[in-house]
Amino acid sequence: MSSLLLASALGLGLSTNLAQAEDATLAARLDPILERAVAQQRIVGTVVMVARQGRVVYQRAAGFADREVQRPMREDQLFRFASLTKPLVAVAALRLADQGRLDLQAPVSRYLPYFTPQLADGTLAVPTLAQLLSHTAGLHYGFGEDSNGPYHRAGVSDGLDGAPLTLEENLRRLAGVPLDFKPGTQWRYSLGLDVMGGVLAAATGQPLPEVVQQQVAAPLGLHDLSFHVSDAERLATAYRDGYPRPEPMSEPYLLPMPKGGILYSPARALSTQAFASGGGGMQGSAGDYLAFLEALRQGRLLTPASQRLILEDQIPGLQRDDAPGWGFSLGAAVLRDARLARTPQAPGTLQWGGVYGNAWFIDPARELSVVILTNTAIAGMSGPFPEAILAALYRD
């Protein structure tokens, strides 16, 4: 072997050995966190995956997909995504815009003529598609209001319950409720992505599941992302937080909140009759979601202009009272100020979670993508478990 080839081979060997050592160090940090969370019964089961510089450096399943029948969690387990659905639908919308089939600055009524909401004083105030994606459309979620709130009175579904509605019926009900504020003037987490789901269906003439399949799943060769699970054995059982341990969710299950509450229907994931909620209706695996995040981080799905819309803060003039230091793109939260947000993540980090117990983030500066899926609401989304994983990833 020539000296050049030998040096190259030695360099490759050293690089491989270093990578393996780094992976082992990361596993030594993360494995105990997963095992402790299961042993202490904070969560029932989880799959955590981490990619750095385009390479999967950690993947682990722990605990149970179904504790009552002792079915162990598998790395390819399917989970109810809840709001992890939103970035998938947002990217589908941005891809259609890149193809010239959607105008993000157009009013929603161009695609859904019946969606002509008004302000409380009766003034017509139709939001744009971009305002749906950035949660500045003047909408909100029913789970943030009491039982006598306007969405409850109108029978609007948040997309997680088992309401026997079609997507159009739900959006027509929503359109009849006055907006909270003039579009573009405030930020409020909302049903905007459910409305966008209706827009995508109208713009393409296809059901929303087909749009997401064609625009996101198929280009990446992903097979586990869906609005309906046909194989119940692959779907992790849904649990709720409880003391001394989490308990299986009832059907339905109401999670009380300081004002209102989240109404879940775990059976919705298996129902062929449930409408496709663009804000919370999908299911999938950690592997597929990590592949999606990495494709997004690397710019393999969108044009550079659309890439900026989803990776950069699109509400720079607005403050989010719910999350100091964070802004919002056309798809997820964007870190503005790490000190104010009290996080080790780099400014520009993109992240969000799902109320079935899931979380993810992309730190572009560190070329890092992370997926944390659990079957325990809401301990897997926020609290000691995901916080411990974050701390371990940034320990150095």
For residue 148, give the CATH number of its domain: 3.40.710.10
Q: Over the stretch 86-96, which tens digit does the pLDDT of each residue have?
A: 999 999 999 99
Kindly tell me if the per-residue pLDDT of 12 is higher than 90: no
Residue 259, pLDDT score:
86
Kindly tell me if the per-residue pLDDT of 3 is higher than 60: no
**Would you say residue 17 lies in a domain?**
no
Pick from 168, 104, 98: which is nearest to 133 by CA?
Answer: 104
Task: Using pLDDT thresholds of 50, 70 and 90, give the confidence band for residue 9.
Answer: low
Pick from 361, 351, 348, 364: which is nearest to 299 by CA?
Answer: 364
Kindly tell me if the per-residue pLDDT of 10 is higher than 60: no
Last residue of a domain, one of 206, 239, 258: 206
Kindly tell me if the per-residue pLDDT of 16 is higher than 80: no
36 and 122 share a domain?
no
Round to whole Å and give the CA distance between 114 and 132.
16
Q: Over the stretch 180-213, which tens digit does the pLDDT of each residue have?
A: 999 999 999 999 999 999 999 999 999 999 999 9
Q: Over the stretch 234-267, which tens digit does the pLDDT of each residue have?
A: 999 999 999 999 999 999 999 999 888 999 999 9
233 and 100 share a domain?
no
**Would you say residue 8 lies in a domain?**
no
What is each CA distance from 388 to 345, 369, 372, in whole angstroms? 13, 16, 12
Q: pTM of the predicted model, to two decimals?
A: 0.95
80 and 100 share a domain?
no
280 and 135 share a domain?
no
Residues with a catalytic annotation lie at 83
234 and 356 share a domain?
yes
Last residue of a domain, one of 156, 176, 206: 206
**Would you say residue 254 lies in a domain?**
no
Residue 1, pLDDT score:
53
Q: Over the stretch 341-379, which tens digit does the pLDDT of each residue have?
A: 999 999 999 999 999 999 999 999 999 999 999 999 999
**Would you say residue 255 lies in a domain?**
no
Which residues are paired to 283 by β-bridges? 80, 226
HEC sequence for 24-37: HHHHHHHHHHHHHH
| Domain assignment of residue 282, given as a range | 30-86+216-247+266-393
56 and 121 share a domain?
no
Kindly tell me if the per-residue pLDDT of 108 is higher than 90: yes
Vertex 354 angle, CA 160 and 36, to 5°: 125
Task: Using pLDDT thresholds of 50, 70 and 90, give the confidence band for residue 396.
Answer: confident
Q: Over the stretch 285-333, which tens digit does the pLDDT of each residue have?
A: 999 999 999 999 999 999 999 999 999 999 999 999 899 999 999 999 9
What's the Rg (C-alpha) of the chain? 21
Residue 327, pLDDT score:
98
State which amino acid sits at residue 143: F
Residue 2, pLDDT score:
54
381 and 292 share a domain?
yes
Q: Over the stretch 118-166, which tens digit does the pLDDT of each residue have?
A: 999 999 999 999 999 999 999 999 999 998 999 999 999 999 999 999 9
State which amino acid sits at residue 319: Q
301 and 380 share a domain?
yes
Which residues are paired to 70 by β-bridges? none
Residue 22, pLDDT score:
86
229 and 372 share a domain?
yes
**Would you say residue 108 lies in a domain?**
yes
Residue 288, pLDDT score:
98
Average pLDDT, the chain: 95
50 and 103 share a domain?
no
69: its two tokens: 């029948």
Kindly tell me if the per-residue pLDDT of 6 is higher than 70: no
Pick from 303, 302, 325, 297: which is nearest to 313 by CA?
Answer: 325
Q: Count structural domains, the chain.
A: 2
**DSSP classification of residue 45:** E
Task: Using pLDDT thresholds of 50, 70 and 90, give the confidence band for residue 11.
Answer: low
**Would you say residue 256 lies in a domain?**
no
